[in-house]
Structures are given as structure tokens and as C-alpha cells.
Amino acid sequence: MIKSSMLNSAINGVLAKLGHTDQIVIADAGLPIPNSTERIDLALVQGVPSFLETLRAVLPVMQVEKIILAKEIQTQNLQLHEELLQLIAYYSGLDSSKKPIEIMYISHEAFKAQTKVESCKAVIRTGECTPYANIILESGVVF
């Protein structure tokens, strides 16, 4: 048995296979997921699990060097954006020997296109039903 806070075997499997600059997505219930990208569907009902609950479960077990957000979240989901920035700041500050997690904003259309590229290994679908509650996590290295 693996000693980790992550209990979901599909998420554990994807994380274990990530290399430097590989990406995963944590998505709201409405983000289109390409057939070519692995789908890990956690959605039960509207809001369960939430985007932030899912992100809080993944961040402690994944080395993240960069996140990508749709720029629309800055105006269309301000509260979630602020909570997200606080969470990223917290995880950036945990290891002072590493660079802070880089934050990049792109259009929602470019975000959706990014889910189709080879470096995007999986999309984790949540039950979140608020606009632009999506994030791309880019894998870093632990050394």
C-alpha cells in the first residue's frame, strides 16, 4: 500500500507517471474533455467534489512548477480566483529551496486547446459548477 494522502488510484497512477513539464487538469463539470486525454471523473452531483477540495487533495502529492488558468477567471469568478491564489501562495512557500509556482493566464479557448496536447496526461473532472473553475498543473522535478 502506498503511503500518501491521495486515495484515488487513478489519480495516483497518473501522478506516478508524470515527467518534467507533463500536465494534468483539474476541471469543473462543464469543461470539454478530448477523447484522446485520460478522463478521471470524480463528479457525483453539482458541487461535489468541489474544484478547491480536489486541488487541495492533489497539491500535497504533486510537484508543481507552473499553473495555467483561463484569464476569464479573474473577472468571472473573482472569489474562486482569490482563494486559488492564496492556496498557490501557500504551496509555493512550503519549500523555500524551490522557485515559486509560476502562474500563467491564457484565454479560455487556448486553455481548452491545451487539454488536447500530448503533454496533457489527464483531466480530473469535479462536480464544480462555477465559471472557469479549471486549472492546468505542470509537473516540476523534486531535485
Digit-by-digit pLDDT tens for the chain (143 residues) are: 677 889 999 999 999 999 999 999 999 999 999 999 999 999 999 999 999 999 999 999 999 999 999 999 999 999 999 999 999 999 887 766 678 899 999 999 999 999 999 999 999 999 999 999 999 999 999 88
Residue 90: which H helix or E strand, with range? helix 78-93
> Helix (H, G, I), strand (E, B), or coil: what is residue 82?
helix
Pick the catalytic residue from 4, 16, 20, 36. Answer: 20
Contact 34, 117 (CB under 8 A): no
* Single pTM value for the model: 0.95
Dihedral sign, Cα of residue 87, residue 107, residue 102, residue 64 = positive
The answer to whether 132 is a known ligand-binding residue is yes
The answer to whether 108 is a known ligand-binding residue is yes
Neighbours of 44 (CB within 10 A): 10
**Is 81 known to be catalytic?**
no
Radius of gyration in angstroms for the set of CA atoms belonging to the chain, rounded to a whole number: 14
Domains of the chain: 11-139 (3.40.1650.10)
